[in-house]
Amino acid sequence: MSVLTYDTLIIGAGPGGYVAAIRLGQLGIKTLVVDKDKALGGVCLNWGCIPSKSLIQMAKTYEKTLTGTEKMGIKVSGATFDWAKTQEWKNGIVDSLTSGIAQLLKGNGVDHRFGTATLTSSTTADFVEKSGEKLTIQFKNCIIATGSSPVQIPGFTFDKKFVVDSTDLLELKEVPKSLVLIGGGVIGLELGTVYAKLGTKLTVVEMMDQVLPGTSKDVAQLVERKLKRNKADIFVSAKAKSWKQVGKEAELTFEVGGKDQIVAGEMIAVAVGRRPNSKGFGGENIGIKLTDRGFIEVNDKLQTSVPNIYAIGDVVGQPMLAHKASKEGEIAAENIAGHKYSTKDIQVIPGVIFCDPEVGIAGLTEDEAKKQGKKIKVGKFPYGALGRAKSTGDIEGFARIVADAETERVLGVEIVGTNASDMISEAALAIEMGATLDDIQLTVHPHPTLGEIMMETAKAAKGEAVHILNPKS
């Protein structure tokens, strides 16, 4: 059996693994990154973030073409879409990005192979390539970046036809006439919104008391209202119980308000979260410890209970976000390279939901701050008071900022509205650097832009808003 020798082995080539590999290459560390799927970039690039956002953009453009320009004097008739062409376009984007990663790995002196790696000791792994060839890999350090998988719920086994997961929704050959979605969280609503915009009759069954659990209620309500305008039916505090095939449809029985209800669709999509892939790579062979929730236990340098084995990304805990995995990949790589001060010292990891309207969140919500017993100042500013929003016709939404009442240090920001995904980065920077309301409101923001909403919201929190009325004290 052939033996490969490297300083560092990385298991998993997703946004954590490949970023760690590139950083190690930059630092002169001989590195091999392997992945069981024949695709660099992991779930995010191939079956998640990138393909879903491509479809979201297509659906948004289609909807805007049909209904969003009449007030501007633009009339369009007979607009249709070619779904096969859309899928071809989406796949082309993915292919371009995966080939780009391959070039970056090569340019930084990093090797990559496709196959299954299993740890046999703290410094060796058995590796079976896609071709079937068996190798032994020897290494000094290892990074586990195995990601996560969709959660299956009892009685709803994925069959790729009547019961599907989020990955299947990205690869549909045709737009379904009807779709039942179990789970009204981020993944479900992003893809559900796509199909609702394209004419699918969407039904959402969410177990919690609102869609997008974890966001503020008024944020969730705004998203829910838009879905209902696209003729979606939404049930909250509802529990999926069972399903059966009835002709060419899947019939779901769910409980809401103590009573059973039935809804049918061409398929049932289950999007109730993801579970860490913390088993199957041989961690149990060398004593890698897991938390009670099944995540790999790590310290602030991302070391596991076996010091030369690191772990990053979804497999080490929430939030399961690509940018969190990438940052952890850099931290792990720098520690392997001997950097003394590279630790997981992150004040905030922003989150983005690409539904309609978009949602961006950084730090604490108002409710979370209150539950922690913090005394706070809160400012809220509507999109409808922004000149730029009016000129584009996108006036739905608002921004809310939460700050410490005494120091006025920014604790959290929520933005719901057009381009919230881009604007939330300013909020993340503010929290990371310990900025105050004055730091934001005294910074001159260009006009007319949507980005002004951060300045205006900070002013509102101080009772100094100019373009909305301030509450009378």
Q: What residues pair up with 127 in beta bridges, in sequence order?
A: 117, 135
| Helix runs in 198-277, H state only | 217-229
Active site residue 447: yes
Distance CA 421, CA 358 (A): 7
Q: How many CB atoms lie within 10 A of CB 424?
A: 23
Distance CA 216, CA 427 (A): 17
Burial of residue 347 (number of CB atoms within 10 Å: 0-12, 13-18, 19+): exposed
Q: Is the peptide bond before 213 cis (omega within 30 degrees of 0)?
A: no
Rg (CA), the chain: 24
User: In whole angstroms, how far apart are CA 147 and each of 311, 339, 389?
Assistant: 10, 25, 38
Of 112, 323, 339, 447, the catalytic one is: 447
Enter the tokens of residue 94: 């993915």
Where b means 16+ CB within 10 Å and e means fewer, 367-382 reads eebeeeebebbbbbbb
Distance CA 67, CA 71 (A): 9
Instruction: Give the distance between the most distant pair of CA atoms in the chain.
Output: 79
| Residues acting as catalytic residues | 447
